Chain A
């Protein structure tokens, strides 16, 4: 492995524990409760205890602060902690910050988690009638659902690149096939292209099966140094690098006020990620691409450089892409702000996915695409 030389990183981080509670429509516990159980499960998976934990990072949208979680669990002292904003953009950056805390030597065992009762807890957009800040120019028009903003992006991508409905339909069908092999996935019924094409419009041009699930889920991940990982009874999953990006004129949950319509912050994340990791798309064996909505997949293959701009439909139709979203992803396994993609990325490198790709050396995981976001590469071998 080539260790990137332009960054001062004196030791590598590795994921040593993962855990997910069963996904459901009604988990029957608080987000605090689910999060605590997920963290304990991930620590047990790593063979570590609460007493070892000295760092915690979370999404801003996580309802339990890291202080409350540390207090509940009995963590003796947090030396590094913090949170990342912007919904589904926070996934890879949250794990990336945990890795950075370890790489810097400021923490040794860091926990990240996401617990969200998005199904039983209702729709967060449904009750906010006072439109402040940037919302005052959108919410009065009823533009409140994430799908509406994505539809405005998707319409433009379809127009610009000439996508047929089958381009996004293939994503829905492929991910459902993965979910059918995953006993933990919420949606395992067969899904055909005809089912997809016949599904009702939610926000044109996005159909029902373009949209992710609404899930109650709780998951956690534990990271430590690659050196310490060697003393644990686990298959360490090394963090080769990560990157974050906003692009210019970002408005938090949409990118259509940006200077060039059609781009997303991934355009800025991708080159930084490849620079930070010393890798290129050809080195990546399997990917977990953020998938709140199907159009994000072809666009991500282009923006991360797996194929050229406008080439994704042919690239994917010919099967030249690496396998993606092998757990079923947000569309068919569960939607927990992309955290399940991170957990599946770890499984692929461990060799324990239900849709295991052979000889995985590197797995790319990306987070939300029209939000400030990031991406991370998990690897079998250390630097």
Chain B
């Protein structure tokens, strides 16, 4: 494989955390999915924010969750896409609704968190299917992903 511009053009997009989102990615590195919860009114909040949108209390608390949930919606990623994904398509992208009530994006992965080249048909992906959290290592970045249960 050659080095240089060609490699960079095939790089995966990487999350660039800021102070409001760093705890989320720190959690992922420790194998923990963290969602913010308001200490005052109990509302679960996504995406990360400095203030509770329900009661306006500052400083929602990062709270570990199981990551259990269900498929709220899904699509199959196909060409044209970013060069990094060109030899990985098709793959299933999930909109997962966690049991705590917030929705996150993630890949459909296998039971060990490995890449699944799939259009979802063999696995029987459908809205409402239960899913469990897995972390998928993408070039050193642990991404929350889900597997069907």
Contacts and interface: CB of A to CB of B under 8 A. Distances in A.
Interface of A: 123, 125-126, 128-145, 148, 151-153, 155-156, 159, 200-206, 249, 251, 256-257, 261
Contacts of A153: 73
A129 B93 contact: no
B141 A201 contact: no
Contacts of A135: 13
B126 to A, nearest CB: 8
A202 B97 CA distance: 24
Contacts of B106: 141
A144 B127 CA distance: 22
Contacts of B78: 200-204
A141 B14 contact: no
B127 A126 contact: no
Contacts of B87: none
A142 B75 CA distance: 12
Interface string B115-147: 000011000000100000000001001010000
Nearest to A128: B13
Contact of A204 (B15, B18, B46, B76): B76
18 contacts: A126-B82, A130-B13, A139-B15, A140-B13, A140-B141, A142-B81, A142-B85, A142-B91, A143-B105, A152-B73, A152-B95, A159-B73, A201-B76, A203-B78, A204-B76, A249-B53, A256-B73, A257-B102
Contact of A136 (B17, B93, B107): B17
B47 A251 contact: yes
A148 B93 contact: yes
Interface string B77-112: 110111011000001010101000011111100000
Contact of B47 (A134, A141, A152): A134
Interface string B30-59: 000000000000000011000001000000
Contacts of A257: 46-47, 102-103
Interface residues of B, number: 40
Interface centre among B82, B102, B138 (most CB of A within 10 A): B82
Given A129-B11, A155-B74, A140 B81 contact: no
B16 interface: yes
A138 B16 CA distance: 12
A204 to B, nearest CB: 4
Nearest to B15: A136
Nearest to A248: B53
B61 interface: no
Given A155-B73, A155-B75, A159-B127, A141 B15 contact: no
A146 to B, nearest CB: 12
A256 B72 CA distance: 9
A144 B16 contact: no
B66 interface: no
Given A152-B73, A156-B72, A142 B13 contact: yes
